[in-house]
A and B are shown apart, each in its own frame.
Chain A
Amino acid sequence: MAVTRNLDKDKMVVVEGSYSVAHSVKVCKPNVISAYPITPQTHIVEDLSQFMADGEIPNCEYINVESEFSALSALVGASAVGARSYSATTSQGLELMHEVLFNVSGMRFPVVMTVVNRAVSAPINIWNDHQDSISQRDTGWIQLYAEDTQEIADMTAQAFKIAEDKDVLLPAMVCMDGFILSHVYEPVVLLEQDLVDKYLPAYNPEFVLDSKDPKSFGAFADPSTYTEFRFLQEKAMEAALQKIEDAANDFHELFGRYYGGLIDEYETEDAEIIIMAMGSIIGTIKDVIDARRSKGEKVGLLKVRSFRPFPKEAIKKVVKNAKVVVVLDKNISIGLNEGALFTETKSCLYNTKIDVPVVGYMIGHGGRDIPVGTIENIIDEAKGVISSGIKVESQFTDVREELI
């Protein structure tokens, strides 16, 4: 299904990306918000704090914690007593949360957290890439990536619905590109409270900390049961594959907007070259594809919305008839010289009958601009792969040779 946006112009307002997220959080009616300020996430928590100061979020407490570690830890306690729980962070803050991330997912608390993607130190850098959240891919969190400010607003509500589903019960990171989306002002439709109330059921966990029914949470598991805990988390992730599609479809039905479920496609049907990417770079790629299509070149785009769970089957279906797949990653696994989306896409095609060359480009590190010309060059090189095979499997893009 293609992107649908029944945008009611009368309802559109020009707001900052961060505000559209904060507004979505507000109408999802969280009980506890716990966050620590960090650039470029700050505008989200400032907007939420203003909502609190104005009494606009009923039945909610905002905890001004002393660190990201405590921000997420507080939500362990909050979720355990049945509170809908939200946080937002980025980069160094997310890295500081690392231990707690595993804990939240292992205890199956459906916390929703906005990650305003930013590069990690050192060298310290406040601009956008995806190294922060990609580095947390094995922590058992759902990871969704948004393309623009309307999608991040909508995805926030979807994330609560997916995470809190009783067949899932996993925390979710909703990822948006720092500054590029968080600090940009665009016209959006802010989520309507009455529609969100219809869309998102109340969070009613089966077990909570309650002295009338005193359960124990967080027992240690020895080798005789630990494997099964891990197995069940994986099963929940697999269940989330369908729930992510359902959440997008239900959203479409109520709000009239759709951006894909696990993935989205643009001009892929007959595409010989398929570009894969996540986040705000999608817009630039679409523009380049439009230009190429007008020249008759068969170029398409596979946008990945869900990185965890990884949509293996959906990807295979889209790329199976392509002649080359080009994967763009705003991250790198140092020592492998590959970005994560590239590695995992390659891996899911292995042991299949699909025989399509896959090449990877690591791009946009630490906020390096990604001009149209860079995408053009990548497409031209992809044509070379079709005609004469892979020369370089995975590489950095736009390296300034004069500095090395």
Chain B
Amino acid sequence: MKIIPGGVCEPGTTRVNKTGGWRTFRPIYDYDKCIKCKLCELLCPEPAILPKDDGFFEFDYDFCKGCGICANECPKQAIEMVLEEK
């Protein structure tokens, strides 16, 4: 790292900070219940929900902090929060 005058930073570089380590509860999809409504992806504050080629989504556990908004808001209860095992 070199400090350039004023301390200008490169875009998107917080990706080196894997916030997944903060997580206490891990979200898990039940793809049988998922209707691909995209609400979880839209709401995720990280964002740590990524679309898959088949239209479903997957969690980016590198960054998911386990807030549980996705599970709380899912209209089909397709996301379960399970305790992380260390």
Q: Hey, which bits of chain A sit against chain B, CB under 8 A?
A: 106-109, 169, 206-207, 214-219, 221, 225, 228-229, 232, 236
Q: What chain B residues lie within 8 Å of A207 (beta carbons)?
A: 4, 6, 8
Q: A214 touching B11 by the CB < 8 A rule? A: yes
Kindly state the separation between the CA atoms of A122 and B10 in the bound complex, as whole angstroms. 46
Q: Which of A169, A215, A219 meets B5, CB within 8 Å?
A: A169
Kindly state the separation between the CA atoms of A44 and B9 in the bound complex, as whole angstroms. 37
Kindly state the separation between the CA atoms of A169 and B3 in the bound complex, as whole angstroms. 14
A229 nearest CB across to chain B (Å): 6
B39 nearest CB across to chain A (Å): 28
Q: What chain A residues lie within 8 Å of B55 (beta carbons)?
A: none
Q: Hey, which bits of chain B sit against chain A, CB under 8 A?
A: 3-11
B14 nearest CB across to chain A (Å): 10
Kindly state the separation between the CA atoms of A158 and B4 in the bound complex, as whole angstroms. 25
Kindly state the separation between the CA atoms of A232 and B6 in the bound complex, as whole angstroms. 9
Q: A228 touching B3 by the CB < 8 A rule? A: yes
Q: Which residue of A lies closest to B12 (CB)?
A: A214
Q: Which residue of A lies closest to B2 (CB)?
A: A228
A321 nearest CB across to chain B (Å): 40
Q: What chain A residues lie within 8 Å of B6 (beta carbons)?
A: 106-109, 169, 207, 217-218
Q: A215 touching B10 by the CB < 8 A rule? A: yes
Kindly state the separation between the CA atoms of A216 and B40 in the bound complex, as whole angstroms. 28
Q: Which residue of A lies closest to B7 (CB)?
A: A219
B46 nearest CB across to chain A (Å): 18
Q: Which residue of B lies closest to A236 (CB)?
A: B5
Q: What chain A residues lie within 8 Å of B7 (beta carbons)?
A: 107, 217-219, 221, 225, 229
Q: A225 touching B3 by the CB < 8 A rule? A: yes
Kindly state the separation between the CA atoms of A232 and B2 in the bound complex, as whole angstroms. 11
Kindly state the separation between the CA atoms of A388 and B69 in the bound complex, as whole angstroms. 83
Q: Which residue, of B3, B6, B11, has the highest number of chain A Cβ atoms within 10 A?
A: B6
Q: Which residue of A lies closest to B1 (CB)?
A: A225
Kindly state the separation between the CA atoms of A169 and B8 in the bound complex, as whole angstroms. 14
Closest 8 CB pairs of A and B: A108-B5, A108-B6, A216-B9, A107-B6, A214-B11, A207-B8, A215-B8, A169-B5
Q: A229 touching B9 by the CB < 8 A rule? A: no
